[in-house]
Amino acid sequence: MERLRQDDPSHVGPYVTLARLDAESAERGLPERRFLARGADGRRTVLLCLPRVGADPSRWAVEAEGARRLRSPRLLPVTEVGGGAGSPWSTTPYTPVLPLPAVLAAYGGPLPEDLVRRLGADLAEALADLHDRGFTHAGLSPAAVLLTAGGPVLTCFGAVRAAAPDGTPRSGLPGLDPGCLALEQAAGGRPTPLGDVFALGAVLAYASTGHTVPEQSELPTGLRRLIGSCLASAPADRPRSARDLLHGLTAHTADAPPGAPTPATAPAGPPALPGRVVAALAAQSAGLLAAEPPSAAEPTPPPPFPPVARKVH
């Protein structure tokens, strides 16, 4: 949770902004500005999103409305879209969340391989569900992954589509993480499920090393081949689907000790988060509860009357 900056709005629709969700360094690859906000009546706290400055608000609004209509596991539900096409905003009910860059910052570096596998499996399952229903996410990046106490959720739906229409080169456009943009999409190609597979590989690389374009030697041994295949330049060289990637993440690894439970048979439920990450989630929640909305500026008092000259008798 970050302090509001001088150029941030104090009010958006019926909401009062309290803080930013993202650190400034993590915003470059985001298609939107994300705020923690509270209803003017003080009863409802939300995650509020606005298109980034300079973006096409109408394209962003189309994708926000598309996300509102979707209900899918691990896709953060958009419950409200307002403001019209010229100045749109969207909201979702607040729950303590950390963007993946903040998770690594709280943990103190790259995450353990078993946690990367577990988070990756949850995200691959979410993508597989979208793809089975004929949708592509087209916006996956480290900052688009929010971690909750119950596991990861996806945001930034449609960022690639919002950045530019198909046929227009997208390489170098603001709001897109270049390390997560498959070459065919950077060249202006239509987003496809295999582009999502590439982006998820980049996210897993980031969780494992701290950056989206690592050297092969930097990746954990047990994930090196799988992540490397996701990041293949040619779509045909990547895993055939998000479901294949899910299988690879939950399959028994060659270096697992004999008799150890495999990820595929591990107990269901949210992943066990490191204590420092849990503490960061709790600190955000506590800080938000204590946050006071920006008070309305008090009227400037009138200037004092000039002193009255007294007659000396």
Residues written for the chain = 313
Q: Kindly state whether residue 131 falls inside one of the protein's structural domains.
A: yes
Q: Which two tokens stand for residue 14?
A: 């019926």
CB atoms within 10 A of CB 187: 13
* 10-residue mean pLDDT series, the chain (313 residues): 91 95 86 94 92 92 95 92 91 96 97 96 96 96 96 96 96 94 97 98 98 94 96 97 96 49 52 93 93 55 44 41
Range of the domain at 155: 11-256+274-289
Rounded to the nearest 10 degrees, what angle do helices 100-107 and 275-290 cross at? 120
CB atoms within 10 A of CB 51: 24
Q: Kindly state whether residue 307 falls inside one of the protein's structural domains.
A: no
Task: Please report which helix (H) or strand (E) contains residue 33, including its range.
Answer: strand 32-39
Nearest by Cα to 68 from 60, 132, 22, 242? 60
Across the beta sheet with 151-154, the strand order is: 98-99, 145-148, 151-154
d(CA 206, CA 219): 9
Largest CA distance in the chain: 109
Domain count, the chain: 1
d(CA 120, CA 152): 9
Q: What is the pLDDT of residues 217-276, one digit of tens each?
A: 999 999 999 999 999 999 999 999 999 999 999 985 444 444 444 444 444 677 889 999
Q: Kindly state whether residue 268 falls inside one of the protein's structural domains.
A: no
The pTM score is 0.88
| Start-end of H helices in the chain | 57-69, 100-107, 113-132, 159-163, 183-186, 193-209, 224-230, 242-250, 275-290
Query: Which CATH number do you get for residue 74?
Result: 1.10.510.10
